[in-house]
């Protein structure tokens, strides 16, 4: 019985330690600033996209268009 208790307690301590390290890593992380895709290749791709929907008419499909 002592061995099983020791194994369970050590497993609990190991799991609590891992969770604490993950939480500390999430709290102290400094994310990189977000760069909008205006001047990059995605911005050029969006600028040259067709203004009409390429999907066939009818059915339950929805074609979303960007404003502008």
pLDDT at position 7 = 96
Mean pLDDT of the region 20-43: 78
Q: How confident is the model at residue 14 (pLDDT cuts 50, 70, 90)?
A: very high
Kindly state whether residue 9 falls inside one of the protein's structural domains.
Answer: yes
pLDDT at position 59 = 66
Structural domain of 20:
1-27
pLDDT at position 43 = 57
pLDDT at 34 over 80: no
Kindly state whether residue 23 falls inside one of the protein's structural domains.
Answer: yes
Kindly state whether residue 22 falls inside one of the protein's structural domains.
Answer: yes
Kindly state whether residue 38 falls inside one of the protein's structural domains.
Answer: no
Kindly state whether residue 12 falls inside one of the protein's structural domains.
Answer: yes
pLDDT at position 58 = 66
Kindly state whether residue 10 falls inside one of the protein's structural domains.
Answer: yes
Q: What percent of the chain has pLDDT over 90?
A: 40
Pick from 66, 18, 22, 15: nearest CA to 45: 66
């Amino acid at each position: 019985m002592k061995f099983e208790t020791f194994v369970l307690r050590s497993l609990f301590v190991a799991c609590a330690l891992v969770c604490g390290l993950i939480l500390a890593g999430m709290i102290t992380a400094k994310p990189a600033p977000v760069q909008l895709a205006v001047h990059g290749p995605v911005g050029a791709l969006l600028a040259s996209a067709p203004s009409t929907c390429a999907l066939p008419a009818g059915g339950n499909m929805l074609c979303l268009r960007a404003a502008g």
